[in-house]
Amino acid sequence: MNTIDKKAITTIRTLSIDAVEQANSGHPGLPLGTAPLAYTLWDKVMQHNPKNPNWVNRDRFILSAGHGSALLYSLLHLTGYDLPLEEVKAFRQLDSKTPGHPEYGHTPGVEATTGPLGHGFAMGVGMAIAETALAAKFNQPDFPIIDHYTYALVSDGDLMEGVSAEAASLAGTMQLGKLIYLYDDNNITIEGTTDIAFTENVQARFEAYGWQVLRVNDSEDLVALINCIELAKQETAKPSLIIVKTHIGFASPKQDSPAAHGEPLGKDAIITTKQALGVADLTPFYIPSEVQEYFAERLKVHAEQEQTWQELFDKYAKQYPTQAQELQEQLQGKLPANLATSLSQLFIDKTSSATRDASGEILQLLAKNIPALIGGSADLGPSNKTLLKGLGDFSAQDRTGRNLHFGVREHATGTILNGIALHGGFIPYGATFLVFVDFMRPALRLAALMGIHSIFVLTHDSIAVGEDGPTHQPIEHAMSLRIIPNLDVLRPADALETAAAWHLAVSNKRPVSLLLTRQKLPVLAAYQTQIASGVAKGAYKLGEELNPDITILASGSEVHLALAGAELLKTTGIKAQVVSMPCWEYFEQQTAAYKSTVIPNHIPTMAIEAGVTLGWSKYTKNHEHILGIDTFGASGPGDKVYAKFGFTAQAVAELAKKILKK
């Protein structure tokens, strides 16, 4: 290791531990142990331009072990990203650009929000899929326009999490050769040494997944590390895991102990550590001038990398103008102007359709009109109706296929979708049964936190699933998704609402979940005009009942129940205004004036949904005004299960009468 490399690595280490110390909070052990790995990647290996963090052909780096965020912030500052030293000094402080775990969209240069272990690992798989698919579609001989790698720094904890196992297995199957992970093998967890819970042969496990596994026995050996990365690049048919023997808390009094993991070293230990590293100036946040000068010079190299690529792209655009324009439009997420009109024509002649079936038809149209649309199911494609006909399967043999087969891996499905969305160039969707969304819930939460364009298709949305019984009948799931901030949850009532919901899902560039039925539902053709504008508002009136006595809110399949109940009430002289409420989130964004016209305060409101009653009193003002289900379901034909738990037109009418009598 030459002098400037050593000083640069030492500076990364000292900035990181100073940030943790000043915050009196954080994780100094990982930055001390892995600074050589991160420095080698960022300075010697990766193509990136700190002055343009969004350069499309940059290599991606994910700090999957997000608790070591001080390492990433030190790197970002030193290498020239827009992260001033004052922000590093404000580590973990309110409103700083250096939060406790890296947050996508908050700090320039952060590629993904990490912290929940295993997620960075799995999102990297999604990024590698996106790179590979874009390259297959747009690259031409002598024009490798899309040609970059996905790197991650992963920890023992990442490899223990089940989601990383799911994603690693799929990455090996797909032969994602441009996926290269560095494994911080330090033998320490929070509770002690790894042998108390993690004794497996990691190398054998990953080789069994279909990965190339390489080893570096000394984390301070940059030459060995670079050689391994080069070997990883040469292996085009396998992702690579480079196991690097590191020392948590390197050079500190807490080296190789759990105490180095998640608490400040302490002022005395900071001094001891800096002295052990050969630092002459013990001033907090000290950066040697030669290190500053070195990284300033390296900015020119990184700028030249992008400039060289830009020159290549300009030549590509002249020789292949159609492809160049399509690539730019796909990266921008451009949609055809007539999409809403095309969707509205799909179900003109339909009288009934399960919303999952309608969704399947919609997907075929969307895929033809949106080249960026890509996705699949967690081995439920025929049931979820998510297979794109005639568009091939993405695989090791065909990188142009647009159907993704995730296997029975719901958690990895969600995280890989997030990785594809983060990479850019695609609108990804992934599907499973609504009841199994619990397996991927952490991925939905991260998608919402990052505000990215991941679409989650969740079918078999209620007890009307029927014969499969309570294990497959979602009860609490719709409501549990609604409580995730920044996640749009749409439960459409028919094929027309489903078309409108899909249009919003691809247009809004936000995370969205679509909750769809297994059973057939009538098409609300009489309300087509209202549906076209109403779904985007979250709730709208079906028809216009003059001077109604009661408002009946419903979502999804229960909208038809509400309409039937309203007809029964009409025979008794009671006028009910039915409101379809496919999306709470959209409704809450409307003006107070609009909301009061849909749910007026001067008459009572009741709500119907084949799920938990919790939450609906927000609109009914009275929990007793809700027709729902707060128990598990039962096995039997769907219509009979539906009726068993009180979802009948008669029950709707009786509840309305009861409310009006009070």
Is the dihedral angle over the CA atoms 232, 235, 239, 243 positive or is it negative? negative
User: pLDDT digits over 531-573, tens only?
Assistant: 999 999 999 999 999 999 999 999 999 999 999 999 999 999 9
Q: Which of 87, 131, 166, 410 is catalytic?
A: 410
652 — pLDDT class (breaks 50, 70, 90): very high
User: In the prediction, which pLDDT does 1 show?
Assistant: 76
User: CA nearest 351: which of 496, 200, 217?
Assistant: 496
Residue 111 known to be catalytic? no
Output the pLDDT for position 608. Answer: 98
Name the maximum alpha-carbon separation found in the chain. Answer: 90
CATH number, domain 339-525, options 3.40.50.970, 3.40.470.10, 3.40.50.300, 3.20.20.210: 3.40.50.970
d(CA 104, CA 111): 6
Q: Is 176 helix (H, G, I), strand (E, B) or coil?
A: coil
SS3 helix, strand, coil % of the chain, rounded to 5?
50, 15, 40
Reported as a single tens digit per residue, the pLDDT across 194-212 is 999 999 999 999 999 999 9
- CATH 3.40.50.970 segments of the chain: 3-303, 339-525
541-661 maps to CATH 3.40.50.300 = no
pLDDT, tens digit (0-9, with 9 covering 90-100), for 448-499: 999 999 999 999 999 999 999 999 999 999 999 999 999 999 999 999 999 9
pLDDT at 317: 98
Identify the burial level of 593 via C-beta atoms within 10 angstroms of its C-beta, where 0-12 means exposed, 13-18 middle and 19 or more buried.
exposed
Average pLDDT across the chain, whole number: 97
- Are 445 and 418 spatial neighbours (Cβ–Cβ below 8 Å)? no
Phi-psi region of 104 (alpha: psi -120 to 50; beta: other; left: phi over 0): beta
Cβ atoms of 104 and 114 closer than 8 Å: no
pLDDT of residue 189: 94
The radius of gyration of the chain's CA atoms, rounded to the nearest angstrom, is 28
* Tens-digit pLDDT profile for residues 498-520: 999 999 999 999 999 999 999 99
> What does the alpha-carbon distance between residue 186 and residue 258 come to, in Å, rounded to a whole number?
10
| 153-208 confidence digits (pLDDT tens) | 999 999 999 999 999 999 999 999 999 999 999 999 999 999 999 999 999 999 99
CA 475 to the chain's CA centroid: 24
**Structural tokens at position 19:** 């940030």
Task: Give yes or no for a contact between 531 and 577, defined as CB atoms under 8 angstroms apart.
Answer: no
Mean pLDDT, residues 2-15: 97
CB 550 within 8 A of CB 660: yes
Measured between alpha carbons, how far is residue 360 from residues 357, 430, 506 in Å?
Answer: 5, 13, 15
Check residue 348 and give its pLDDT. Answer: 87
* Cα–Cα distance measured from residue 167 to residue 323, given in angstroms and rounded to the nearest whole number: 31
pLDDT band with cut points at 50, 70 and 90 for residue 23: very high
Q: Is domain 3-303 annotated with CATH 3.30.70.100?
A: no
Domain with CATH 3.40.50.920 in the chain: 541-661
